[in-house]
Structure formats: structure tokens, C-alpha cells
């Protein structure tokens, strides 16, 4: 795991003002981590990006001790239809190139989905094939970060075993890490707020936490096990309680990992204010170990 020696909090930020602009926006709100889309979030088109802007972003983050990750565009799928496979591979390589130039630790990619009702393993086989095709062409330090999904229990990508197994079966496991989404974990019953010890034990046994690089820090608008991916703000509005989050944040595997909000910014609290609340509670609080 990343050893930052301190707790990191931040949120998803726009690159409307460029990659350096996003980093400066993080610093302005006193965030120590952030996430961004490396290009148009609704397109897989390869972007001819401003490399100087990306390098300035990297230098700024290094100077200010800011952690960053990128997130693939919405259409990205590790189980795409055959006609979109080459487009997806080229897009992922482009995302990795941009994120690497920005000094980011990795690019978050959603776990795949079933592609055959007759063969439940077909989706996993295609995921591994796609990852191998991408990573065969990638030599940078920036990782692909597989994210757990928010489906009902039994849906692809909802349990630690799947994430770990897909990574281990790839030809390039050292180029793959994980990103844990708390809303997704809650929705899929992986972590339901009351089974933290069981969740921690399972993650330790399967060596999941060693490769966990970031946490998407989101509350859930629906109860545990709902299978619904609807993010809520951390405090007061979701089904995950403040006590449950407090136990989670202070758990040993997560103490030095970046917590990055993907919460609504138009439902009563702005991201800058929400980040400030997180810092006040878990960075400036005297009861944080």
C-alpha cells in the first residue's frame, strides 16, 4: 500500500482549466488527493493532450504532496462488444499515458459485466484478455486500478475474491491495483457497515489490501445489499452512518490511503465544504491515531 504517513482527503475535480488547473483547485481547497477524467468523460476518442500542462501538474503535485488518480471515461468497459475492443484498448492506453504524465498513481477502471447467460465465466475471460492486450503495450509506473461494482450480491465484481483472482490470472499483475468504492461495497453487501472485521479479515487473507491504492469515499442513498449505485454525501444524507464511516476510516489498512469523494455537489453541500468537514473530523481531530 501507499505509505504517505498521513490521512489524505479530496474529491473528483474537473480538468476544464487543464491538468495543472485541477491540481491547483485541489490545493486551493486544502485537499491532499483528487481524481479527474483524463479526457472527455463521454467519449473513447484518443486525446492529443498537452504534455507540458501534464508535466506541470505532476511537478505541482510533487511540490505540494498531492496524490491523484484518473478515472476512465463512462463508455469504458473491460467486457466490450467485439467491434469496440480496439477502440477501448487504445482509449485505455491513452488514459494511462495522460495519467502517467500527470504523475498519477493509476487509472480507475470499472470491473466487467456478464456477456453470456450460458457461460458465466465468459465475462472474466474477456476481462483478462482485454487487460493483457492493454498492459502488454504499457510500461509506465501508472497502474490500472480495478474498482468493485455495486450490483446485487452475485453480480460480477462485488466480492474480493473476483478482484484478486482476475489480477492474479493476468499476465501482468504488477501493473494492476485496486480502488475500493464504499458505496459500491455497501450496495453489494461486501461491507454493510456492520461486518468490518469480517471484511478486513477477508481482505488480509486474500492479500487485497497490499494492492489497494485509493478509496472512493461515498455514502449510499439506498440500504446495504440494494444493488443500487446511487452516491450520497458522507454526513447526514445516506444509509452509512457516521459511526460506521469512523470505524472504517480508522481501520489499519485504510489509515494512509487517499479517500476521494464522488459525492453530489449540488445537494446542500459543495465538495470544498465536504472536504473541509472530512479534514476537520479525521485529520485535525485529536482522536485520530
Name the strand (E) or helix (H) holding 125. helix 122-135
208-259: per-residue pLDDT in tens?
999 999 999 999 999 999 999 999 999 988 999 999 999 999 999 998 899 9
pLDDT surpassing 60 at residue 199: yes
Buried b / exposed e along 167-178 (16+ C-beta atoms within 10 A): beebeeeebbbb
80 occurs within a structural domain: yes
* CA distances for 285 relative to 8, 36, 243, 281, 282, angstroms: 14, 28, 15, 5, 5
289 occurs within a structural domain: no
Q: What is the pLDDT of residue 2?
A: 43
218 occurs within a structural domain: yes
Q: What is the pLDDT of residue 3?
A: 44
Q: Which domain holds residue 174?
A: 8-282
- pTM of the predicted model as reported, rounded to 2 decimal places: 0.96
**How many domains does the chain fold into?**
1
Average pLDDT over residues 66-77: 98
Neighbours of 31 (CB within 10 A): 26
1 occurs within a structural domain: no
Q: What is the pLDDT of residue 161?
A: 97
Average pLDDT over residues 25-47: 98
104-120: per-residue pLDDT in tens?
999 999 999 999 989 99
131 occurs within a structural domain: yes
Average pLDDT over residues 181-197: 97
Q: What is the pLDDT of residue 236?
A: 85
For the chain, the average pLDDT equals: 95
Q: Is 271 left (phi over 0), alpha (psi -120 to 50) or beta?
A: alpha
CATH number for the domain spanning 231: value is 3.20.20.150
Using an 8 Å Cβ cutoff, are 138 and 182 in contact? no
Q: What is the DSSP string of 2-34?
A: ---SS-EEEEE---TTHHHHHHHHHHHTT-SEE
Q: What is the pLDDT of residue 5?
A: 56
In the chain, the percentage of residues whose pLDDT exceeds 90 is: 92
Provide CB contacts within 8 A for 176, sequence distance 6+: 131, 135, 143, 144, 145, 146, 167, 170, 211
118-129: per-residue pLDDT in tens?
999 999 999 999
Q: What is the pLDDT of residue 287?
A: 47
Q: What is the pLDDT of residue 286?
A: 43
C-alpha cell of residue 228: 443500487
Instruction: Measure the CA–CA gap between 56 and 35, rounded to whole angstroms.
Output: 17
Average pLDDT over residues 152-180: 95
Amino acid at each position: 500500500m501507499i505509505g504517505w504517513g498521513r490521512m489524505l482527503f479530496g474529491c473528483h475535480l474537473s480538468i476544464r482549466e487543464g491538468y495543472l488547473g485541477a491540481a491547483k483547485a485541489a490545493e486551493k481547497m486544502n485537499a491532499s488527493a483528487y481524481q479527474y477524467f483524463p479526457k472527455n468523460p463521454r467519449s473513447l476518442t484518443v486525446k492529443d493532450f498537452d504534455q507540458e500542462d501534464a508535466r506541470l501538474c505532476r511537478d505541482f503535485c510533487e511540490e505540494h504532496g498531492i496524490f491523484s488518480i484518473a478515472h476512465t471515461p463512462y463508455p469504458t468497459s473491460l467486457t466490450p462488444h467485439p467491434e469496440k475492443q480496439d477502440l477501448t484498448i487504445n482509449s485505455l492506453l491513452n488514459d494511462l499515458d495522460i495519467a502517467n504524465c500527470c504523475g498519477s498513481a493509476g487509472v480507475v477502471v470499472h470491473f466487467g459485466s456478464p456477456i453470456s447467460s450460458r457461460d458465466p465465466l465468459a465475462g472474466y475471460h474477456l476481462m483478462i484478455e482485454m487487460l493483457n492486450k492493454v498492459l502488454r503495450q504499457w510500461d509506465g509506473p501508472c497502474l490500472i486500478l480495478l474498482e468493485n461494482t455495486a450490483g446485487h450480491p452475485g453480480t460480477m465484481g462485488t466480492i474480493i475474491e473476483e478482484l484478486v483472482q482476475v489480477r492474479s490470472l493476468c499476465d501482468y499483475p504488477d501493473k494492476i491495483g485496486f480502488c475500493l468504492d464504499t458505496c459500491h461495497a455497501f450496495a453489494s453487501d461486501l461491507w454493510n457497515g456492520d461486518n468490518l472485521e469480517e471484511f478486513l479479515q477477508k481482505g488480509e487473507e486474500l492479500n487485497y489490501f497490499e494492492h489497494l491504492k485509493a478509496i472512493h469515499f461515498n455514502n449510499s442513498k439506498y440500504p446495504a445489499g440494494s444493488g443500487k449505485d446511487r452516491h450520497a454525501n458522507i454526513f447526514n444524507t445516506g444509509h452509512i452512518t457516521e459511526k460506521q464511516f469512523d470505524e472504517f476510516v480508522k481501520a489499519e489498512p485504510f489509515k494512509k490511503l487517499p479517500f476521494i469523494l464522488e459525492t453530489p455537489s449540488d445537494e446542500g453541500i459543495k465538495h470544498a465544504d465536504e472536504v473541509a468537514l472530512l479534514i476537520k473530523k479525521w485529520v485535525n481531530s485529536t482522536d485520530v491515531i
